[in-house]
Amino acid sequence: MGNGKGLEGVVAAETAISDIDGQQGRLWYVGYDIADLAEAATFEEIVYLLHQLELPNRSQLDEIRNQLAAEREPEPFVLSLLPTLANDAVPMSMLRTAVSASSPHDPDSNDQSEEAIYRKAIRLTARFPTLVAYYDRHRNDRELIPPDPSLSQAANFLWMLNGEKADEDSARIFDVCLTLHADHTMNASTFAARVCAATLSDIHSAMTAAIAALKGPLHGGANEAVFRMIEEIGEKSKARDYITKRLGSKEKVMGFGHRVYKTEDPRATVLRKMAKELADKTGEPRNYEISEEIEKTVMDVKGIYPNVDFYAASVYNYLGIPTDLFTPVFACSRVAGWTAHVREQYADNRLIRPDHAYVGPEPRAWVPLSERN
């Protein structure tokens, strides 16, 4: 697209946080390959890496784990809003509203020092999963499960959501999901966060903007749409026909295509493997088999690869996460990247204000109301 539509190919910021090679299907966080991180890192290490641009040593890791574990309980004012939001708002609207509402109640609310902004970043990262889990418990009239500081971010979320300690494999798989979603260069929500921060607005405002952008089906909302499609298809034998018809009528298939990757998204490779593992382990291969068939058909008809959202949908479902929480769960991970990008933006700030190509009428004379047709 040579006309700059969608800012394709435009370098909007310098960043040391992550990088993508769209031709080769590679993604790095601060120079570390996502495949290696998915294999070995924990989400807590990723949070440290994205913010400090180095992997933590043992004591640094203990420190960030403790900081995150200590900051999980939302402010009383936000807690008081949750029952109403659980009744009235869809999950991403709840998250957007709760994060915005927490701003004046944050202990560092108006402090724009570097140290305070970092504390707010950690606090926000710690609190997102609690908001999502409490919301779900409220709407199902179930007792709230307070955060367990002895558990990792991943295991604690599954605990607060389900009221049961996740087995080691499920906790590890969810931890990998958090790692895979934590950052992705200048995606729409990260860019929205940076645009907001570049006006020197506060980090809560930037997170609110980011959540708002992630909500859309062309971005984070795609994972939910993927699962609804899998459910609608219902069985493997119907997948090819369904997808062929959809593509024939020029509709997009959610969970496919990417602005930057022209080959397989490296996160999809890991997620496909985990979806298969879970399908085998649970003895419920249906969703995985439908997904495989969708993938083959989209490749045959359009030559397009799956992105991060495609197999994430099945993985989240196998982990017992309700479908409409898939996008908020994405946010529980991406908040690490968003907050790191906001700090990077503040550190070397210039207002983000792109140019435009005007396509309206030439300058013309004002017409008084009485003379208009």
Ligand X SMILES: CC(C)(COP(=O)(O)OP(=O)(O)OC[C@H]1O[C@@H](n2cnc3c(N)ncnc32)[C@H](O)[C@@H]1OP(=O)(O)O)[C@@H](O)C(=O)NCCC(=O)NCCS
Q: Catalytic site residues? A: 258, 309
**In terms of CB distance, is 6 or 146 closer to ligand X?**
6
**In terms of CB distance, is 44 or 292 closer to ligand X?**
292
Under the binding rule (CB under 6 A), the answer on residue 304 touching ligand X is: yes
Under the binding rule (CB under 6 A), the answer on residue 257 touching ligand X is: yes
Under the binding rule (CB under 6 A), the answer on residue 322 touching ligand X is: no
Min separation Cβ 8 and ligand X, Å: 7
Query: Of the candidates 162, 185, 307, 333, which one interacts with ligand X according to CB under 6 A?
Result: 307
**In terms of CB distance, is 217 or 322 closer to ligand X?**
217
Min separation Cβ 315 and ligand X, Å: 15
Query: Of the candidates 71, 202, 309, 344, which one interacts with ligand X according to CB under 6 A?
Result: 309
Query: Within its chain, how far is the Cα of 142 from the centroid?
Result: 26
Under the binding rule (CB under 6 A), the answer on residue 302 touching ligand X is: yes
Min separation Cβ 335 and ligand X, Å: 17
Query: Of the candidates 308, 332, 336, 342, which one interacts with ligand X according to CB under 6 A?
Result: 308
Residue type, 228: R
Q: Which stretch binds ligand X (CB under 6 A): 32-40, 44-52, 304-312, 360-368?
A: 304-312
CA dihedral sign of residues 180, 271, 126, 98: positive
Which residues in 112-151 are b (16+ Cβ under 10 Å) and which e?
Answer: eeeebbbbbbbbbbbbbbbbbbbbbbbbeeeeebebeeeb
Instruction: Show the tokens assigned to 176.
Output: 């990998």
Under the binding rule (CB under 6 A), the answer on residue 228 touching ligand X is: no
Query: Of the candidates 89, 92, 176, 253, which one interacts with ligand X according to CB under 6 A?
Result: 253
Map residues 94-133 to x or -, x wherever contact with ligand X holds by CB under 6 A: ----------------------------------------
**In terms of CB distance, is 64 or 193 closer to ligand X?**
193
Nearest CA to 124 among 83, 146, 96, 143? 96
Instruction: Show the tokens assigned to 127.
Output: 């609190």
Min separation Cβ 249 and ligand X, Å: 11
How many residues bind ligand X (CB under 6 A)? The answer is 18
As a whole number of angstroms, the distance between CA 98 and CA 83 comes to 11
- Contact by Cβ (8 Å): 36, 57: no
**In terms of CB distance, is 6 or 31 closer to ligand X?**
6
Query: Of the candidates 48, 128, 256, 326, which one interacts with ligand X according to CB under 6 A?
Result: 256
Min separation Cβ 207 and ligand X, Å: 20
Under the binding rule (CB under 6 A), the answer on residue 316 touching ligand X is: no
Query: Of the candidates 4, 6, 146, 320, which one interacts with ligand X according to CB under 6 A?
Result: 6
- 3-state SS record for 193-239: HHHHHCCCCCHHHHHHHHHHHHCCCCCCCHHHHHHHHHHHHCCHHHH
Under the binding rule (CB under 6 A), the answer on residue 218 touching ligand X is: yes
Under the binding rule (CB under 6 A), the answer on residue 254 touching ligand X is: yes
Mapping DSSP to helix (H, G, I), strand (E, B) and coil, where does residue 152 land?
coil
CA dihedral sign of residues 142, 230, 128, 205: negative
Instruction: Show the tokens assigned to 369.
Output: 């109301």
As a whole number of angstroms, the distance between CA 320 and CA 325 comes to 10
CA dihedral sign of residues 18, 199, 210, 171: positive
Query: Of the candidates 72, 258, 272, 276, which one interacts with ligand X according to CB under 6 A?
Result: 258
Under the binding rule (CB under 6 A), the answer on residue 222 touching ligand X is: yes
Residue type, 157: F
DSSP 100-129: HHHGGGSTTTT--SHHHHHHHHHHHHHHHH
**What are residue 18's DSSP bridge partners?**
29
Query: Of the candidates 228, 259, 273, 286, which one interacts with ligand X according to CB under 6 A?
Result: 259
Under the binding rule (CB under 6 A), the answer on residue 216 touching ligand X is: no
Q: Which stretch binds ligand X (CB under 6 A): 33-41, 61-69, 111-119, 248-256?
A: 248-256
Burial of 165 per CB tally in 10 Å (0-12, 13-18, 19+): middle
Contact set with ligand X (CB under 6 A): 6, 218-219, 222, 247, 252-259, 302, 304, 307-309
